[in-house]
Amino acid sequence: MKRVLFIDRDGTLINEAPPTYQLDSFDKLTFYPHMFEYMGLIAREFDYELVMVTNQDGMGTAAFPEDTFWPLHNLVMKSLEGEGIRFSAVHIDRTFPADKAPTRKPDTGMLTGYLNNDEYDIENSFVIGDRITVNFEHAGKLLINAALVDLEIIDSRS
């Protein structure tokens, strides 16, 4: 059975870009210090399948068009792949919090294919993210462990 790391994108791998907290222009794209180093180590040394899980509020709307999202997201993915960090899947929820969609983190609707699936060792899988309110609650609903990215610790090494 495969263990999975369900990894948040914004705030974990890349900076959440104020004021909109949406990655909607190339000048807002900033990878966190040492992220490639740590994610590369995880990808090489640990036996986990990497799965990206991200909420992208209103993606596809006039305020956040897909033609703005995809070039930046593709650059993020190619940058990760260039360092040997490959995600087997990317799950994106486009709804707003007020929509209360079952696919939006912290709910588990995006990940039903992993739950009650004999291919995956969910009990020994993890959620990695930057927010207790979303990522830890998401892990709790999946009944798995969570790891919080502490950006103050990461930034202090820079």
Question: What ranges do the domains of the chain cover?
Answer: 4-128
> Which CATH architecture best describes the domain 4-128?
3-Layer(aba) Sandwich (3.40)
Annotated active-site residue 10? The verdict is: yes
| Alpha-carbon gap, residue 151 to 10, rounded angstroms | 12
Quick one: pLDDT at residue 151?
Answer: 54
Annotated active-site residue 8? The verdict is: yes
**Catalytic-labelled residue, pool 10, 57, 93, 130:** 10
Quick one: pLDDT at residue 21?
Answer: 83
Q: How far is CA 151 from CA 100, 136, 155, in A?
A: 28, 16, 6
pLDDT, block means (10 residues), the chain with 158 residues: 96 87 90 93 94 96 94 98 98 97 95 94 92 77 76 42
Strands of the sheet with 3-7, listed across from one edge: 89-93, 48-55, 3-7, 126-129, 145-148
**Catalytic-labelled residue, pool 8, 57, 93, 130:** 8
Identify the residue whose tokens are 């907290």: 21
pTM for the model: 0.89
| Alpha-carbon gap, residue 20 to 34, rounded angstroms | 25
